[in-house]
Structure 1
Amino acid sequence: MAKSIFAPDVLEGKRVLITGGGTGLGRGVASHLVAHGAEVHLWGRRLSVLEEAAEEASGGRSGRVFVDSVDVRQGDSVDAAMSRIWDEHGPLTSVINNAAGNFIAPTASLSTRAFEAVSSTVMNGSFNTTHAAGRRWIAEGLPGSVLSTLTTWVWTGSAFVVPSAMAKAAVHAMTMSLAVEWARYGIRLNALAPGPIPTDYAWEMLNPTDSSAVGATQPDQIPMGRVGTIEELAALTIFLLSDACDYLTGETIAMDGGQRLAGPGTFAALTKVTDQEWIDIRETSKAASAASKAQRTAG
C-alpha cells in the first residue's frame, strides 16, 4: 500500500455521510476517512451489512463510525435520517453520494421496474440526500461539501447500462447546477468518475462472463494497463473533502488510467453478444446475486 501523503488528522472535525456505505467503493473508502480523523456515517438498506462495514471501517476506533438503515429513494426517510444525525451527532460537513445499483442488459429487454430500481437509487437518492443536507446547511449558515460517485459514462453514455448512464448523467448535471446556485452559501459540489475498481459483487454483475472481450473493462484495455485501487480513490476523496480546495466546485474528475480518452465505451464489445449468450449472462448474474446474499446472511 502506498504511503498516505496526508496528515493523519487532515479530516479532524469532519462529519461525513456515505450513502451505499455498506458495500463496494463506499465501504472501501470509509476506513481511509476514519484513519484521517473523520467521523463517518454509513447509510444502506441492510443493517447487518452496515454494521459489518462499520466494524471494518472503525479499525478499533470507538465512536467514529455510525450506521442507519435508509432507503435513499424515499425522500421522507432520508429527511428523517438526516434529522437523526443532526440531533444526535451534530451537523454533517460532507456528503458522499455513493448509493447505486447496476447490471448489464440489452435495453430492449428491461422492465419498468428494473429501470426504476437503478435510476431512482442513483438520481433520486443523490438528490434526496443532497437536498436534505443542503437545506440544513443553508438554514444554519454552515458551509458543506457534496461529492458524488459517477462514471465516465456521463460524458460518453454507455450501451447496455442505460439506466445507470442516464441517472449518473443527471447527477453530473445536478453537480454543475447546484455548484452555481449554492456557491454563495459556501457549499461545494464535485464528483468523481473512477475507472474500473473491482469490488465484491458489483464487479461480478458487470463482468458475468469468462470472456475478456465482454463485460467490464479489462486491464489490457486501459492505457495504464491496470485497474484502479480503493487507496487511489480514497486519496482523491480525502483531498476533495479537506480544507485544501475550497475554490474547487462544479467539477467531475475522471480518474481512470486514461480509459475514457482511449475509448471505446466500457461495454461496447457487448454488441457482439448473441441472444442466447444474453440468456446465459442473465442466469449467471442471478446466481451471483443469490450467492452474494446467502454469503452475507451467513456472515
Structure 2
Amino acid sequence: MFTNDTLKGRTALITGGGTGIGLEIASAYARLGASVMLVGRNQERAQEAAEGLRRAGGQAAACRCDVRDYDQVTNAVAATLARFGALDILVNNAAGNFVCPSAELSPNGFRTVIDIDLNGTFHGCHAAHPHLKASRHGGSIISIITMRGVTGWPGAIHAACAKGGILSLSRTLAVEWGGDGIRVNTISPGPIADTEGVRRMYIESGKGPSEVGKTALGRWGRKADVANAAVFLASDLADYVTGANLIVDGGRWLKQAAD
C-alpha cells in the first residue's frame, strides 16, 4: 500500500509501543523507513519488541517510561533525540481501562485512568513540542482514542472521559500549534480482534458474535487497519490534514446510532 520510503528519515516515539496496536504501528513505521523509540512501563517487553524490529531490519530502540510522570516522559524524549537525533512523530497510544459500573467506581480508579490516558497524552505533547516544531519534515502527533469518548461508554466512564478529553486536547493543539508546523490528529479504532483487550472482553466471554454484528461491515478489525491509518497521518500524504479524528471501526458507531 505504501512505498518503502514513505517515512524515510523520520523518527517516531510511540508510547505503549511494546505490544498490541502500539507495536503494530511501530512495525509499520520501521518497515517504511522510520526510526522508532518504543516506550512503556515494562522495560523488558519494550526492549524485546525493539530487538524484534531490529532483527527484521528496522531502526528501533526502547526506553522505560510511565506517561503519568512528566519527568519520565521528558527523559524518553531526550533518549529519542540522543539515539536518533530528531523527533518527527509522536504516537500517544499508552492507555489504561477496566470495566466497572460508574456507581461502583472509586475516585482512585477514575483518577488512574485519567492520569494515564489524558494526562499522559498532554505530557507527551508538551515534552515533544519544541522538537516536533524543529522537525524538517513537519511534526505529527497522533493519539489513539475511541468513538466511545464521543458517544459515552457505559461501564467505562473513566476511559470515556479520558478519550473525550484527548479529542478536545488534540483539536485545540491543532489550532495552537498549526503555525509551528505541527499536525495533530486522532484515530478511533473499533473492535480489533487481534488485541488482548478484545479477546478478553468479547471473544473469550462469548460476546464475539454480538459485537461483530454491531459493525456495519459485519467483521472484526485488525491491528494493521489502525497501523495503516497511523502511517497515512504521519506521512506527507496527510500534509494538509490536522484536527481530524480518523474513525477505523467498520462503521460501528454509525450502526449503533442507527439501531
Compute the TM-score of the two structures, normalised by the length of structure 1: 0.80
Which of the residues 148, 154, 157 maps onto 2:149? Answer: 154
Tell me the distance in 1 between the aligned counterparts of 2:70 and 2:257. Answer: 37
Partner in structure 2 of residue 258 of structure 1: 251
Question: In structure 2, which of residues 222, 226, 235 is the aligned counterpart of residue 229 of structure 1?
Answer: 222
Matching of residues 101-120 of structure 1 within 5 Å: 101-120=96-115
Q: 2:189 matched to 1:194? A: yes
Contact 2:4 2:31 in 1 (8 A): yes
Summarize deviations over 1:55-98 as a string: whole Å, max 9, x none. 33334316x01000000110111112212222332121000000
Report the number of matched residues: 257
What amino acid maps onto 1:40 in structure 2?
A: V
- Structure 2 counterpart of 1:35, from 22, 27, 31: 31
In structure 1, how many angstroms separate the alpha carbons of the residues matched to 2:17 and 2:208?
31
Q: Is 2:238 aligned against 1:245?
A: yes
Preserved contact between residue 114 and residue 159 of structure 2 (Cα < 8 Å)? yes
AA in 2 matched with 1:133 = A
Question: CA separation in 1, counterparts of 2:226 and 2:19?
Answer: 15
In structure 1, the partner of 2:174 is 179
CA shift, 1:136, in A, is: 3.2
Larger mean Cα displacement after TM superposition, 47-56 or 96-105:
47-56
Counterpart in 1 of 2:118? 123
Contact 1:141-1:185 within 8 A present in 2 as well: no
Give, in angstroms, the shift of residue 248 of structure 1: 0.6
Identical amino acids, percent of aligned pairs: 35
* Contact in 1 for aligned 2:13/2:77 (Cα 8 Å): no
Please tell me whether the aligned partners of residues 223 and 262 of structure 1 are also in contact (alpha carbons under 8 angstroms).
yes
**In terms of Rg, which structure is larger?**
1
* 2:72 match: secondary structure: helix
CA distance in 2, matches of 1:227, 1:208: 11
Say whether residues 1:69 and 2:61 are aligned partners.
Answer: no
Paired letter, 2:243: G
Where structure 2 has 5 or more consecutive residues not aligned to the other structure, the ranges are none
1:12-44 residue CA offsets vs partner (Å, 9 max, x unmatched) = 001011100112210122111111111111000
* Distance in 2 separating the partners of 1:51 and 1:141: 26
Residue 96 of structure 1 aligns to which amino acid in structure 2?
A: V
The equivalent of 2:163 in structure 1 is 168
Q: RMSD of the alignment, in Å?
A: 2.0
Instruction: Give a deviation string over 1:111-151, Cα, whole Å, max 9, x none.
Output: 2222222111100110000111113334x475310000010
Does residue 47 of structure 1 match 2:43?
A: yes
How far residue 245 of structure 1 moved from its aligned partner, in angstroms, is 1.7
Partner in structure 2 of residue 60 of structure 1: 56
Map 1:126-137; keep pairs closer than 5 Å: 126-137=121-132
TM-score, length basis structure 2: 0.92
| Counterpart position of 1:268 | none
Shift in Å, 1:155: 1.8
